[in-house]
Copies of this chain bind each other. A is one copy, B any other.
Amino acid sequence: MKLTTTSYAILGHLALRPWTMYELAAQMRNNVHYFFPRAESQVYAEPKRLVGHGLARVDKESVGRRARTIYSITDAGRAELERWLAERTAKGPTLEFEGLLRVFLAPLSSESALVDALNRIRDDVSEMLEAVDRVGSEYVAGTAPFQRHAMTRSIVYDFLASYAELADDWARRSIARVEAWPELDDEARHEEAMRIFRSHARAARRRRGA
């Protein structure tokens, strides 16, 4: 029985309540999408495997002539999920960031391409910023679907919101830096870059001290 992390993501959702795959796909899109993105086709495929392993159960219902399939967790599923949650995390966080690769390779192209890449990043981040904000205001209003889990959700939310804010702030200040380059000579530009390296080095020292 080989389950993937995706399997446990779905199984975990089934432990919260039963879902149709359509609902679950929507839920994943709103909630875990920013730290565990999966294609919809996966969301539809996984539960069948879970059923095959006896970890989930299917119930057929219908709305008029349209069928809907409701999946719920079984006792075996709950046990397996608990086992997994007690396990040590397999993989550290990974980031995949094509835009940053373009910044990295920017000396090979033009400054305008660099600014374009940074602006494109801002567009992508602004979507995340909005999504995060939407979820946040649901919790503040007390209307979130899992309001009773507000404490743990606030931890996840704190990360996601901080991350999105950081990405946007970084892109903004970087665009400003690049736009200031034409006014600086080589020496001044280099010195300005060194300020960045040094400020993070200072932060690292503070961290080690604490």
| A residues at B contact (CB < 8 Å) | 5, 8-9, 12, 15-16, 31-32, 34-37, 81-82, 85-86, 88-110, 113-114, 116-117, 120-121, 124-125, 127, 129, 132-133, 136-137, 139-140, 149-159, 161-163, 165-168, 170, 173-174, 177-178, 181, 189-190, 192-194, 196-198, 200-201, 203-204, 207
In angstroms, Cα B9 to Cα A190, docked, is 25
Residue contact B139 to A121, C-beta cutoff 8 Å: no
Residue contact B109 to A82, C-beta cutoff 8 Å: yes
Residue contact B197 to A149, C-beta cutoff 8 Å: no
In angstroms, Cα B102 to Cα A82, docked, is 11
Q: 29 A–B contact pairs at CB < 8 A?
A: A5-B98, A5-B101, A9-B101, A12-B104, A16-B108, A34-B95, A82-B108, A85-B102, A85-B106, A91-B96, A93-B97, A95-B95, A100-B159, A104-B152, A104-B156, A106-B152, A107-B149, A133-B201, A150-B197, A154-B194, A154-B197, A155-B174, A155-B177, A155-B178, A158-B200, A161-B204, A165-B200, A165-B207, A166-B166
